[in-house]
Amino acid sequence: MAIIPNDPGSKSLNFTSPAFQNGEMIPPQYTCQGSDISPPLKWKGVPEETESLVMIMDDADAPNGTITHWVLFNLPPDTRGIPESFTAQDKLDNGAIQGKNDFGDIGYTGPRPPPGKQHEYYFRLYAIDTKLDLSPGATKDDVMHALKGHVIDDVELTGTYSR
């Protein structure tokens, strides 16, 4: 799947989704109650000195602590988005690598909160000054440890979901 090239005219890191507004409900097709495909994501304003991008999706409201739903790193800095239904492939032709989520899968696993309480899902995008020397299947903890001291800018997009 193609990754969308960056818009060089941007001035500050901005992160959105055409599928839902920040703080709004994630549509069911991107959850366990739908097709469980990844939502489209877009960003602009990647700092010029960026060497790679990292994107992590978490559910901080999970009953037993934060659950990581998606780990993606070494995205080229000249990208500005991820298309809907992004591949579950561990390594992409452009050098981007997907890690293992807390469900034991490579790639995206959508929201699946227990019935009742609304959960918030955080998509965090990091612009960093290096490429991470990690293998496909690296965990969020591996990625967060490796990016320490390398973050140039970061931004968050939040979506909600409940059953």
Q: What is the CATH number of the domain that holds 112?
A: 3.90.280.10
**How confident is the prediction along the chain (163 residues), in pLDDT tens digits per residue?**
444 444 444 448 999 999 999 999 999 999 999 999 999 999 999 999 999 999 999 999 998 999 999 999 999 999 999 999 998 899 998 999 999 999 999 999 999 999 989 999 999 999 999 999 999 999 999 999 999 999 999 999 999 999 9
In a domain, 12, yes or no: no
In a domain, 14, yes or no: no
Closest Cα partner for 163 from 34, 19, 17? 34
Number of domains, the chain: 1
Kindly state whether residue 103 falls inside one of the protein's structural domains.
yes
- 5: Cβ contacts below 8 Å, ≥ 6 apart: 78, 79, 80
Residue at 7 is within a domain = no
Sign, CA torsion 2/77/158/59: positive
Residues spanned by the domain of 79:
26-161
Helices (H) and strands (E) in the chain, counts: 1, 10
Q: Is residue 21 part of a domain?
A: no
Inter-residue contact 47 to 153 (CB < 8 Å): yes
> What are the C-alpha distances in Å from 37 to residues 7, 28, 155?
26, 10, 22
Per the domain annotation, does 15 fall within a domain?
A: no
Stated pTM of the model: 0.91
Answer whether residue 105 is part of any domain.
yes
Residue 1 lies in a domain: no
